Structure 1
Amino acid sequence: MFEYELSQTRSAELRAAAEHDRLVREALRVRRAARRTEAYEAARGEASAQGGTDARSHSRRPRRHRFARAA
């Protein structure tokens, strides 16, 4: 009977830890989204102040190659 209670306690601890981890991930996701939105709004404000429509590039391609070309 002791092993069963130990198993139940351990299971409850694991469930609580998993729930805590989910809450932490959700909080980080919300913070990142808020930061991204804030940066986007700031960039739009700069672009409209400069007369442009959008400060972000339409392409996600980097300007340069990530690695130097082999000789």
Structure 2
Amino acid sequence: MTEQRREGIVDWWDRERGYGFIVPFGDTDQIYVEASALEGTHVLSCEQHVSFLLQFTEGRFQARSVRP
């Protein structure tokens, strides 16, 4: 089964620490994202539109394969 990409907005990003949070469209829960999950870029900006895949790991959802 193919995973469906989701879309959302970067709510918060810490450039020095290399992680932040995305809020998916139609939702209010923040999804954790780290720099190692980014494709085609090394940093994100607040309010930037992104697409991503969801992965449940370490007891929470995390974004992976994040694309600007």
TM over 0.5: no
Higher helix share: 1
Q: Which has the larger radius of gyration?
A: 1
Structure 2-normalised TM-score?
Answer: 0.20
Higher relative contact order (CA 8 A, sep 6+): 2
TM value normalised by structure 1:
0.19
